[in-house]
Chains A and B, each alone.
Chain A
Amino acid sequence: MKHLISPLDLTVSELKEILDLAGEIIQNPKKYATVCQGKKLATLFYEPSTRTRLSFEAAMLNLGGSILGFSSADSSSASKGESVADTIRVISSYADICAMRHPKEGAPLVASSYSSIPVINAGDGGHNHPTQTLTDLLTIQTLKGKLNNLTIGFCGDLKFGRTVHSLINALVRYENMNFMLISPEELKIPAYLREEVLDANKIPYQEVKLLEQVMPSLDLLYMTRVQRERFFNEEDYIRLKDSFILDAKKMEFAKEDMLVLHPLPRVNEIATEVDSDPRAVYFKQAEYGVYVRMALIMKLLEVA
């Protein structure tokens, strides 16, 4: 394994290895505090993402390594027209591993074909976000104790929500999963995911427009933000942005052990009153993101 571009680059057993290692790190973080001493992580963020970038940087620092990089296209040579291919050729001689966030879909795949260091896709447009998927899987495994026999609701922007696309791709490989896809008509899951992933794997799913309709059946609710940056038309964004708001009243319909996940940042799709509900685990989820990225970095650098 050299690069992580799509969640499907990892087999189920490789995923298990990473999640198990992340679990060990949670138990004993000090044991791993120097395993990447002398190694450098480049964070190439062509699109702002404070949380993911800092999560990667915290992960490398926790491992005793160091970091370099940029946090927007404006502060990189991309603003002068430099190609992704040229950038990664140069960065390959500056760092030992890199994490790339890019607004264009497929940019990390391009980088991986010109890179001599491992490339991690830290999000490419509305396409994939595999380390968020690792984070989600670690959260589910740690807090639910399993990655099978679950009914999961995906709610919000299922069309452009790359975290949803990636997570569905990963979850269909586990046994007895059942999906509830909750979105307005305009933001329904893309046809290719429905046909080539869900139908092809004979995964039971329902597409619904009301959260309340399926809330009692859910083991997990994965909320997503309607992302302004994915719309070409501001009017469409304004019309759809408040389609689903999870509040304390809706939580009353949920099972006692149902968990609410969200890739963050949250805008107003989860009312802050839900934060104090023990079933709201999105901040814990963000914390797990650091551990799972530590595990991934160690695996790709072959120091674990």
Chain B
Amino acid sequence: MLNIGGLNQGIVIDHIEAGGAMNIYSYLNLEKLDCSVAIIKNAKSNKMGKKDIIKIEGTLDIELDILGVLDRNITVNIIDDGMIKEKRNLKLPEKVTNIIKCKNPRCITSIERDLPHSFRLTDREKGVYRCIYCEQAFKRI
């Protein structure tokens, strides 16, 4: 088992679907952070078989629920003083704008300039988001 040091203060993004960590890394623009960031790929998981984990030393100024749009199984642990202060299951937002992009080549978003990419949650149980313009479902990772 690969050993990554614990955090004193920060965020652990856990239960990322194996192979999805870089997508989350890129979405959160973590390359721009000065603090330590650890990406653990293909970690053993009793629940998932394999999973990815991201550990971030420090705070992030974003609405973390948005991560659920990218991967609905993600859990977030807020670490303070070396302890898990909060274990958070993400609540899928009803609507997201300019977080994910519609990949339907027939969608108006593929040609119209400056059009926000907006999706609405159409099935909370399955975590399905559909483009408000063409209704194409967003396919994760």
* Chain A residues packing against B (C-beta within 8 Å): 83-85, 102-107, 109-110, 124-127, 192, 195-196
CA distance A51 to B61 in the complex (A): 54
A125–B134 CB distance below 8 A: yes
Q: Are B111 and A104 in contact (CB under 8 A)?
A: yes
B136: nearest chain-A partner, CB-CB: A105
CA distance A196 to B110 in the complex (A): 25
Q: Using a Cβ cutoff of 8 Å, how many contacts connect chains A and B?
A: 56
Determine the distance from Cα of A196 to Cα of B135 in the docked complex, in whole angstroms.
12
- In the bound complex, residues from chain B placing their C-beta under 8 Å from that of A109 are 108, 132-133
Distance between A16 CB and nearest chain B CB, rounded to angstroms: 26
In contact, A106 and B123 (Cβ under 8 angstroms) = no
| Bound CA span A126–B137, Å | 15
Which B residues are within 8 Å of any A CB, using their own CB? 104, 106-115, 122-123, 128, 130-137
Contact among A102, A125, A126, A196 with B123 in the assembled complex (CB-CB below 8 Å): A196
Q: Evaluate whether A106 and B113 lie within 8 angstroms (CB atoms) in the complex, with A84-B108, A126-B106, A196-B122 already known.
A: no
Give the complex CA separation of A141 and B137 in angstroms. Answer: 33
- B110 to chain A: which residues have CB within 8 Å? 104
Residues of chain B within 8 A (CB-CB) of A196 are: 122-123
Interface SS of chain B: loop
Contacts of B108 in A (CB 8 A): 84, 102, 104-107, 109-110, 124
New A-B pairs, 6, CB < 8 Å, besides A109-B133, A110-B108, A110-B133: A83-B112, A105-B106, A105-B133, A106-B132, A127-B106, A192-B130
**Judging by beta carbons under 8 Å apart, are B137 and A84 in contact?**
no
Q: Are B112 and A110 in contact (CB under 8 A)?
A: yes
> Can you spell out 13 A-B residue pairs with CB atoms less than 8 angstroms apart?
A83-B112, A83-B114, A84-B108, A103-B106, A104-B107, A104-B110, A104-B111, A105-B135, A105-B136, A109-B132, A124-B108, A127-B135, A192-B130
CA distance A124 to B136 in the complex (A): 13
In the complex, which residue of chain A has the Cβ closest to the Cβ of B104?
A105
Interchain CA distance A278-B128 in the complex, whole Å: 45
Cα of A125 to Cα of B104 in the assembled complex, Å = 11
The reply to whether A192 and B107 contact each other, CB–CB distance below 8 Å, is no
Q: What separation, in Å, do the CA atoms of A125 and B131 have in the docked complex?
A: 14
Measured in the bound complex, the distance between the Cα atoms of B111 and A102 in whole Å is 12
| CB of B62 to closest CB in A, whole Å | 27
User: Quick one: which of B114, B122, B134 contacts A106, CB cutoff 8 A?
Assistant: B134
Residues of A within 8 A of B112 (CB): 83-85, 104, 107, 110
Residues in B whose Cβ lies below 8 Å from that of A124:
108
Across-interface contacts of A105 in B (CB, < 8 A): 104, 106-108, 133-136
